[in-house]
Amino acid sequence: MNPRPRRAMLFMPADDFSKISKGAALDVDSVVMDLEDGVAPDHKDSARHTVAQALQSLSFGQTERLVRINQLNSALAEEDLRTVLPALPDGLVVPKVEDPNALSALSARLATFEREARLPFNTFSLLAIIETGRGMIALREIAASTPRLAALIFGAEDYTSSIGAQRTRGGLEVLYARSAVVAHAAAANLQAIDTLFTDLQDLEGLRADAAFARQLGFTGKLAIHPNQIAPIQTAFMPTQDEIAAAERLIVAFKERQASGVGVFAHEGKMVDMPMIRAAQNVLARAGRLF
């Protein structure tokens, strides 16, 4: 499996066509047009139509086109799906996921839509935001709820308010939650996307936070401003040296595989499956096929 890289995922309010068109031209891995908390209640309907219009009229290049819908099992989410799906986004970001059954029901509904519209199965991806105490303790079931799920996203702001923690710059209060999301994503073969960084002025702080997220095992991070894209994509992009080393290792592995050898020596080091998987991860993050 070689999933599309989602290093930086840029959010923008879905009722703001000019931000959507700006986001479409930035060559970011993913954009997320937000119908949930970024849009005032009395703008929801016009936001839905703005999203549909943007999907149908703008060119996004290689950028993945995602829509964050409102919370599942709400009347708002129903309306979101009705208006947005016919405009064919690449996937949906689902906020405050707590109930694995609601996610698998959504997946089934997407399958029905795909069948009726004669679209290939799994045309729409799903990405689940884990941002409540209930979501956190249901991680195992949520991660396994549907094969359509591509990523778990951690949302620190809602999470800390949901559990009554105090948000600090150091972020120790969310360390457990971040690592839990990474572990469950890894176990279910999903990407793990880290929470946003709210201080738009502090790009040094963002770089450090993204580097720490990478260190924890996240594969990408949310962005909320165009200036945040480059620092995030760089943090999650392997270096040229790492890419070249991973490519050499995979070539050597394929040669050994063809001759039926399991463990072998490569560039002076023993190589076994964990190192092959790590090299595959590096190439996946670099967007390389292998």
Q: Give the footprint of Mg ion on this chain (CB under 5 A).
A: 131, 155, 158
- Tell me the three-class secondary structure of 153-199, residue by residue: EECHHHHHHHHCCCCCCCCHHHHHHHHHHHHHHHHCCCEEEECCCCC
Q: Could you give phi then psi for residue 177, rounded to 5 degrees?
A: -65, -40
Q: How far is the CB of 14 from ligand COA (least distance, A)?
A: 8
Please name the amino acid found at residue 253. F
3-class state of residue 101 by DSSP: helix
Count the site residues for ligand COA by CB under 6 A: 15
Least distance in Å: CB of 17 to ligand COA? 10
99 is catalytic: no
Nearer to ligand COA, 9 or 142 (CB): 9
Between 13 and 100, name the residue whose CB sits nearer to ligand COA.
Answer: 13
225 binds, among ligand COA, Mg ion, none (CB under 5 to 8 A by kind): ligand COA
Continuous segment of H or E residues that includes residue 137? helix 133-137
At 155, list the tokens.
Answer: 């949302």
Print the binding letters for residues 88-117 with ligand COA: x by CB under 6 A, - otherwise.
Answer: ------------------------------
CB of 10 closer than 8 Å to CB of 229: yes
- The reply to whether 11 sits near ligand COA by the rule CB under 6 A is yes
- Which of ligand COA, Mg ion, none does residue 208 bind to, with CB < 5 to 8 Å depending on kind? none
Q: Which of 8, 9, 12, 249 binds ligand COA (CB under 6 A)?
A: 12
- Are the CB atoms for 280 and 250 separated by under 8 Å? yes
Task: Give the residue, chosen from 6, 7, 23, 35, that forms a contact with ligand COA under the rule CB under 6 A.
Answer: 23
Amino acid at site 14: A
**DSSP calls for 49-69:** HHHHHHHHH---TT-EEEEE-
Residue 5 contacts ligand COA per CB under 6 A: no
Based on the number of CB atoms within 10 Å of its own CB, is 113 exposed (0-12), middle (13-18) or buried (19 or more)? middle
Q: Which is nearer to ligand COA, 20 or 182 (by Cβ)?
A: 20
The CA–CA distances, whole Å, from 14 to 34, 54, 143, 171, 220 equal 5, 9, 27, 29, 22
Least Cβ distance, residue 36 to Mg ion (angstroms):
7
**Site map for ligand COA, 36-65, x if CB under 6 A?**
-xx---------------------------
Q: Which residue is nearest to ligand COA (CB)?
A: 38
**Binding to ligand COA, residues 223-252 (CB under 6 A):** 224-226
| Smallest separation (angstroms) from Mg ion to the CB of 155 | 4
106 touches 80 (CB < 8 A): no
DSSP structure string for 19-51 = HHHHHHTS--SEEEEE-STTS-GGGHHHHHHHH
Name which of ligand COA, Mg ion, none residue 119 binds, using a CB cut-off of 5 to 8 Å depending on partner kind: none
Q: Which does 158 bind (CB under 5 to 8 A by kind): ligand COA, Mg ion, none?
A: Mg ion
Cα distance between residue 262 and residue 8, in whole Å: 36
- By CB under 6 A, residue 135 contacts ligand COA: no
Rule CB under 6 A: which residues touch ligand COA? 10-13, 18-19, 22-23, 34, 37-38, 196, 224-226
Would you please indicate which residues are annotated as catalytic (active-site) residues? Answer: 272
